Chains A and B, each alone.
Chain A
Amino acid sequence: MAVIDVNGLSKVFRAKTKEPGLRGSVRALLRPTYTELGAVKGISFAVEAGELLAFIGRNGAGKSTTIKMLTGILNPTAGTAQVLGLVPWESRRQLAYTIGSVFGQKSQLWYHLPALDSFRLLGSIYEIPHRDLAKRLDAVVELFELAEFIKTPVRKLSLGQRMRCEIAASILHRPQVIFLDEPTIGLDVVAKLKIRELIKRLNEEENTTIFLTSHDAGDIEQLCKRVIVINHGEIILDTSTSYLRHNYLTTRIVNVKFAEPCPGLRLSNAEILKHTEKGVKFRINTRSTSIEDVLGELFAQADTADISVEEPAMEEVIRDIYRRPAGEGEQDAVS
């Protein structure tokens, strides 16, 4: 059975509109008008136990809104969802015992106290028996390498250390599913790597299902096996990360070093980016052209010393997906 099951989930926000100036204020007070904003528009997907999934999209795409509905913070406007067999917005507190959540800017640690105190408190809040908690704390401290600063007041921790503590705090009660809203936001490269590593270990060692949002292509590339792309509240792609990498962005950059200069080089289906005495760099689209054809054409004209084909970076892949108009990606979507 799927641990997360979402069907036609939608959220429409209604915001009061106000024209500028005093007159606008008075009018808004007397006769309020509303604009409706569809933040999430009938999305459906299912997540199996043990999956590590990235939920990505541009600013305002509806990622946080979706996570809020799945954790019970927001009621949806339409559609259904079940997390571990419970409807999140109907059984918030019951669900709380089996899921964990981290929202980038909202801390669940006591600011002036060492993280350890917060952990102990959370142990009581989640009703973890005393002896279990001690064991669990040891394991989590080791897994997340917190020993060094667990007794330092949270306000004195670096952002990266704090985020490690936040995630640790959210898994003390051994949740089966954990929702992470932008866990690596604002972190430096090293801290990001650290967070990724422990999310991965959490997934592998405890088989925790992980649902994370991110803007960082690295999170997706290094961490997630599956990626769902949401744009303007609609899912435009739901596929595996490797499929995405190999099949989605279909341009390749080819770098060629000449053995001898080849000034008259002509390639019929490639876009030449740079052409010098020493070599040539060109872009081809593998959807319309095969690399072999282009290379054949090249070999017929030039004497080559070295050839390399660059795969596009995940970042570019994602940028490309966002650029497409809504709906176009769906033909490519395979789960």
Chain B
Amino acid sequence: MQLVSGGALRKYVRIAEISFTNRVVYLADHFASSIFLILILFIFSQLWKTVLGPSGEIAGLDSTAMLWYMLFTETIALSIPRAHYLVSEEVKSGDVAYKLIRPYSYILYYFAAYCGEFAVRAATNLSVGAAFAYLTMGPLTVNWGKFGWVLLGFALATSINFLVCFCVALLAFWLEETRPYFWILNKMTFIFGGLLVPVEAYPEGLRRISYLLPLRYSFSAPARLVVDFDYSLLWQMLAGQLVWTVLLAALAAVMFRKGVRRVHVHGG
């Protein structure tokens, strides 16, 4: 990977923009997929009401907070663009080499495209989901003074999720089929990302593992910060996010460089 100069940055902003516009074409589809979000939110609103009652808590969250927590984790999970399948295809077919003769960084190109698409998906999921959560469980009390930190957390979470998917997609340099690995990633996200329940509520062993993986920092932690802001969690999250961003970016760069060398030698 190469560093980006200020002037060159504009192209990535434009890529994000066009990817955003490209997705707006499918806005109706995105609203349709939000129906799935409503469905799970509905089921869990019933579940938390029954299990927790008016005063019960899980890891310090009452039933309303639990539902809003899930809205945010699921919004992140359901809004992850499908672009990595494209990366996989390009890598497998060797088309990636054709992209490398354009004056942009392949990784940043896809990161920009990812951000643009994520924004559209997240906006639809969040608006539909929030309306539903509001109607069934009532409003969420947000600590607006700390909202900047929360946004930073979400931004870093997005980079981590991108890098994780990108690295899995790059496996296509060496493997015939990457879908099984995406499937595994999906299941791991469900558990170690704490999609339903904050990982703090997990039994000791599971919690330990989730603390060692990036997924906690890109799903559970930022979602929890919105519903229950806490400085110690914030610092923990930011530290974890920064470490993982650096590690994953380095991993992606190394995998990419090694893989691309093969393509340059063996062709597509």
Contacts and interface: CB of A to CB of B under 8 A. Distances in A.
B15 interface: yes
B14 interface: yes
A92 B263 CA distance: 14
A14 B266 contact: yes
Contacts of B10: 124, 127
Interface in A73-111: 73-75, 89, 92-93, 95-97, 101, 103, 106, 108, 110
B65 to A, nearest CB: 40
Contacts of B38: none
A125 interface: yes
B22 A113 contact: yes
A108 B102 contact: yes
A68 B243 CA distance: 39
Which has the most chain A C-beta neighbours within 10 Å: B95, B266, B267?
B267
B145 interface: no
A110 B109 CA distance: 14
Nearest to A74: B267
B50 interface: no
B18 A117 contact: yes
B11 interface: yes
A160 B14 CA distance: 28
B11 A124 contact: yes
A120 B15 CA distance: 10
B21 A113 contact: yes
Which has the most chain B C-beta neighbours within 10 Å: A75, A103, A124?
A124
A13 interface: yes
A97 B22 CA distance: 26
Contacts of A95: 101
B7 interface: yes
Interface of A: 13-14, 65, 68, 71-75, 89, 92-93, 95-97, 101, 103, 106, 108, 110, 112-113, 117-118, 120-121, 124-127
Report, nearest first, the 6 A-B pairs whose CB atoms are least far apart: A124-B14, A96-B103, A124-B11, A73-B97, A75-B264, A125-B11
30 contacts: A13-B267, A65-B267, A68-B267, A71-B101, A72-B100, A72-B101, A73-B98, A74-B97, A89-B264, A96-B103, A97-B103, A101-B101, A106-B98, A108-B102, A110-B22, A112-B22, A112-B25, A113-B18, A113-B25, A117-B21, A120-B14, A121-B18, A124-B10, A124-B11, A125-B14, A125-B15, A125-B102, A125-B103, A126-B103, A127-B103
Interface of B: 7-8, 10-11, 14-15, 18, 21-22, 25, 95, 97-98, 100-104, 264-267
Given A96-B101, A113-B18, A113-B22, 16 more contacts: A65-B267, A74-B97, A74-B264, A92-B100, A93-B100, A93-B101, A95-B101, A106-B95, A106-B98, A117-B18, A121-B14, A121-B18, A124-B10, A125-B104, A127-B11, A127-B103
